[in-house]
Amino acid sequence: MLTLATSNPAKYAPFARDLERMGLVIEPPAQPLPELQSLNFAETLAAKARAAALLFGRPVLVDDSGLVLEAYAPFPGPLTSTVLGSLGAPGLRRLLAGTSDRAVMECHLGCWFNGALRFWTGSVHGRIDLARPCLDPRMALSDLFIPDPAGAGETPRPPGDAGQPPSLKGSSTGQSPLPHRARALAALEADVFELHLETAPAETDSAPPCATRPGYDCPFCAEFEDDNLSTFAGIMGERLPRRIVYEDEHFVVMPPLGEFMEGGLLLLTREHILSFAHLPPARFDHLERLLQAIQRALVKCWGAVPLVFEHGPAPDSSKGVCCVDHAHLNIFPATVRVQPHLAGRMHFSLGALAGLAKLRRAEFGYLFVQENDGSRHAYDGREVPTQLVRRIIATQLGIPERWHWRDYLGQDELVATYNALKGQICP
């Protein structure tokens, strides 16, 4: 979980569900955070985020918000409450007399780590309406500031997953008429999974999966070692003594038990590692080439660019025994879009498979999915039901009864896949 440090938790009450989805908890700081006297949000935010990191002893998120008057930009910015408090409505009226009444409400969220500030911004354009009756002597900005009609002057979202529309609807709850905070949170949401990973404590980074007892109790390692003693041999041995269609010094490719459609494959590391996040970095190029070769073979035989996915388990060093999970990519020549079924989860998109390495720190594990169009996303693995992606695919294909491998071994499909692909994968 990441902490959002604020002395005014009420501001985030309308966003409780969004915060939960993003794994953020509100925590008031034990002592007030410094309010730097500057007109520059980046400066005030950096000072606050830095102080908060020191106070909490870890990177935490902080926020700052305020009004920028177009006629006096960037004034008053971070000084909004001080300035408006002393000006009052009459003073503001004099200030704006004969000049533009245009203004922007801004909300900034920031986090200080690795010696730098990362920040996310939401803003809403509008105007100051001093003709409105302002009953509150503290001059509530929400009474004076009139946002432009929806859609006008929206802040572009920062680079991230442009495919996901912001799901934050704080402004529609009725408690927050100004959507600047909702927009800042939406900008953060695009990056929040990576932020969790980057700010996670370093000790989970190095959890050495199974280094001490390689392959302990692992059916895949058993099968690589001695075909005759494996789970596979027990079930299929009579019909198919061996199922490996491709192998080299680092990887093994074979059809899975639970072959719910022809052409389905597992791509395994030869070495017993927890997940592909733990693959030695130098091997990712090799992996990319092998995946390309598999894709060519599947397109040739089944005419479909495959879906590729992995459920990377959470590192569990607490058990003190070797994990039984053995890194494997699932590959199926199914034309199914998985992303819409996972859209509510924290995620980021990645280009090269080498980007999986940052998921070593995924506290709850992860889901990696490469769609038919080649786009790749990593999703937070929190509360992922067993074999979720298999369920999604089988359901979309209209064969929901086949999603669990124990219910549908797919022996015929497995043998057909083996016969079609043996010797056909050539990286």
Q: State the residues that interact with Zn ion by CB under 5 A.
A: 215, 218, 220-221, 272, 326
Spatial distance between the Cα atoms of 112 and 82, rounded to a whole number of angstroms:
25
Three-class HEC string of 276-310: HHHCCHHHHHHHHHHHHHHHHHHHHHHCCCCEEEE
Beta strands 24-27 and 2-5 are parallel
Minimum distance from CB of 314 to Zn ion (Å)? 17
Minimum distance from CB of 352 to Zn ion (Å)? 25
64 is catalytic: yes
Given the complex with Zn ion, which of 141 and 322 has the nearer CB atom? 322
Quote the tokens at residue 23.
């794994």
Given the complex with Zn ion, which of 222 and 354 has the nearer CB atom? 222
Spatial distance between the Cα atoms of 226 and 299, rounded to a whole number of angstroms:
32
Minimum distance from CB of 274 to Zn ion (Å)? 10
Given the complex with Zn ion, which of 220 and 260 has the nearer CB atom? 220
Evaluate whether 368 touches 357 at the Cβ level (below 8 Å): no
Q: Which of 64, 191, 325, 380 does the annotation list as catalytic?
A: 64
Calculate the alpha carbon distances from 300 to 261, 273, 294, 337 in Å.
16, 31, 10, 21
Given the complex with Zn ion, which of 176 and 230 has the nearer CB atom? 230
Given the complex with Zn ion, which of 112 and 220 has the nearer CB atom? 220
Residue nearest to Zn ion (CB): 218
Spatial distance between the Cα atoms of 351 and 291, rounded to a whole number of angstroms:
14
Spatial distance between the Cα atoms of 423 and 253, rounded to a whole number of angstroms:
11
Spatial distance between the Cα atoms of 421 and 244, rounded to a whole number of angstroms:
10
Spatial distance between the Cα atoms of 77 and 141, rounded to a whole number of angstroms:
13
Minimum distance from CB of 272 to Zn ion (Å)? 3
Evaluate whether 316 touches 281 at the Cβ level (below 8 Å): no
Query: CB under 8 Å to 281, separation ≥6 — which residues?
Result: 354, 357
Minimum distance from CB of 214 to Zn ion (Å)? 7
Beta strands 61-69 and 76-77 are antiparallel
Minimum distance from CB of 253 to Zn ion (Å)? 15
Spatial distance between the Cα atoms of 78 and 38, rounded to a whole number of angstroms:
7
Spatial distance between the Cα atoms of 331 and 310, rounded to a whole number of angstroms:
9
Given the complex with Zn ion, which of 168 and 274 has the nearer CB atom? 274
Spatial distance between the Cα atoms of 300 and 232, rounded to a whole number of angstroms:
27
Given the complex with Zn ion, which of 270 and 391 has the nearer CB atom? 270
Residue with tokens 């949000």: 41
Spatial distance between the Cα atoms of 365 and 320, rounded to a whole number of angstroms:
18
Minimum distance from CB of 114 to Zn ion (Å)? 35
Q: List residues with catalytic annotation.
A: 64
